[in-house]
């Protein structure tokens, strides 16, 4: 986990996720056990990242953003650029 990767990094994973801060460690662990590749913002040292930075990271990494932050719905709705699935 110290390298910024949360648990599962197999190339043949089912889905790729970026877990926002409110997503619990148990949820991340469960998804990894199911075969998904999950990055956690806390593991990346991005606890204070702004929403738009998180959205751009998800796009760059080609990951689905896991969040309970409703602000991401606004970012997705008004953005004319590529945004991650939320």
Q: What is the mean pLDDT of the chain?
A: 78
Domain assignment present for 1: no
Domain assignment present for 39: yes
Range of the structural domain that residue 42 is part of: 16-78
Domain assignment present for 58: yes
Domain assignment present for 29: yes
Count up the domains in the chain and report the number: 1
Domain assignment present for 84: no
- Model pTM score: 0.72
Residue 41 has pLDDT above 60, yes or no: yes
Per the listing, tokens 């709705």 go with 77
pLDDT in tens, 4-27: 444 544 457 789 999 999 999 999
Measure the CA–CA gap between 53 and 18, rounded to whole angstroms. 12
Domain assignment present for 3: no
Instruction: Please calculate the CA angle 42-11-25 and round it to the nearest 5 degrees.
Output: 25
What's the burial of 86, exposed, middle or buried (CB within 10 Å: 0-12/13-18/19+)? middle
Domain assignment present for 52: yes
Considering only CA atoms, which of 17, 16, 8, 33 is closest in space to residue 66? Answer: 17
């Amino acid at each position: 986990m110290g390298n910024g990767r949360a648990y599962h990094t197999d190339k043949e994973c089912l889905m790729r996720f970026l877990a926002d801060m409110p997503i619990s460690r148990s949820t991340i662990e469960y998804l990894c056990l199911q075969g998904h590749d999950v990055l956690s913002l806390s593991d990346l040292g991005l606890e204070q990242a702004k929403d738009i930075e998180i959205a751009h990271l998800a796009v760059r990494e080609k990951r689905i953003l896991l969040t309970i932050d409703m602000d991401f719905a606004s970012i997705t709705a008004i953005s004319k650029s590529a945004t991650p699935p939320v």
